[in-house]
Amino acid sequence: MSDSEIRLALPSKGTLSEPALELLARAGLAVHRPNPRQYKASIPALPGLTVLFQRAGDIVVGVRSGSLDFGITGGDMLAEKGGSDGRILTLHPALGFGHCTLHVIVPEAWEQINRMADLQALQAQWQRPLRVATKFPVLTRAFFAQHGIEAIELITAEGTLEIAPAIGYADIITDLVSTGTTLHDNRLKKIEDGQILASQACLIANKARLKSDPAALVLARQLLEFVVAHLRASEAVSVFANMRGDSPESIAARMFTRPLIGGLQGPTLSPVITRSGEKWYAAHLIVRRDQLVQAIAQLREVGGSGVVVTPVTYIFEEEPEEYRNMLAQLEAE
């Protein structure tokens, strides 16, 4: 592997693996991997980039050390293994998948233990360290310290943690939770104020490579351009409607009286050539997907008809805010 090769690592397995590939494909950056057993692949739209497949935690370690230039991983792994020396830049903190939370979890049978203060009192009563099984020792120790519980014995484990309290090799656990079904099945419960962090997939980069290699900086912009444009578009729809009026300006004035149908900068209005000679215009605007029902109602209120709604693939701005943030961080030193 040459020093000039620019490398992006994707999760090789787990809940982040398929969604990461799907996100890139939807963003127009489909990964070409002829053999699913190969650890190396490419993105034809980005010919200067090599794609590698690694475990989510190893991706963070690789980007931090510089053996990887970019990576998609979980925010939980970034917080646990990313360090505090600024070697990693978070290019995009919220890719929209892999949502979970890291929680302090205790047996359901501990009916009186519902808050971190209860755990603190329990530890003082036992006069011995709480034994905590976890895959996140750094985050766990810091969180317990914030709540005044310094006396803990961390038991680092890589396998299933839910069984630990039942078989006695730990008192409690800290673990990732998505639906909570596994906790219920194993007669466990979350501490009410025991959320250590909320996590989702993120895009990260090695800071030193971006500062030293113009080609890596170009690829960072391309990745951000397409991913950000797609994520922005996934929250929006394109709406077309026919509007009767004397002029585009008069129609726009009516539309501006409603909060949801003004478009990004304003509606696009173009003349409709009618058989009758009446003045009609076609209005095109972008609205948020979760506001579509209200937007259609507002269009009708100002005379819109024949409304057509289509999905949006990309919304490109002049320059992504995430890219500007990246440049600001690089120039901060």
Using CB atoms within 10 A of its CB, is residue 245 exposed (0-12), middle (13-18) or buried (19+)? Answer: buried
In Å, how far are 16, 45, 222, 273 from 22, measured between CA atoms?
Answer: 10, 15, 17, 42
Contact at 8 Å (CB) between 84 and 75? no
pLDDT tens per residue across all 333 residues of the chain: 456 789 999 999 989 999 999 999 999 999 999 887 888 999 999 998 999 999 999 999 999 999 999 999 999 999 999 998 999 999 999 999 999 999 999 999 999 999 999 999 999 999 999 999 999 999 999 999 999 999 999 998 877 899 999 898 899 999 999 887 888 888 999 999 999 999 999 999 999 999 999 999 999 999 999 999 999 999 999 999 999 999 999 999 999 999 999 877 889 999 999 888 889 999 999 999 999 999 999 999 999 999 999 999 999 988 888 999 999 999 886
- Give the pair of three-digit tokens for residue 233: 């578009």
Q: Which helix (H) or strand (E) segment is 88 a member of?
A: strand 88-92
* DSSP, residue by residue, 156-171: E-SS--TTHHHHTS-S
**What CA–CA distance (Å, rounded) separates 133 from 90?**
29
CATH fit for domain 235-311, picks 1.10.10.10, 3.40.50.300, 3.30.70.120, 3.30.1490.20: 3.30.70.120
Distance spanning both ends of the chain, measured CA to CA:
30
Report the amino acid identity of residue 271: P
| CATH number corresponding to 100-198 | 3.40.190.10
Sequence ranges of the domains in the chain: 6-98+200-233, 100-198, 235-311
State in words which class domain 6-98+200-233 has. alpha beta
Residues 6 or more apart whose Cβ sits within 8 Å of residue 141: 152, 154
- Give the pair of three-digit tokens for residue 45: 């739209």
pTM of the model: 0.89
Report the amino acid identity of residue 188: L
Q: What would the pLDDT profile of 248-260 be if each residue is shown by its tens digit? A: 999 999 999 999 9
Of the candidates 147, 2, 196, which has an alpha carbon nearest to the alpha carbon of residue 130? 147
Q: One fold for both 100-198 and 235-311?
A: no
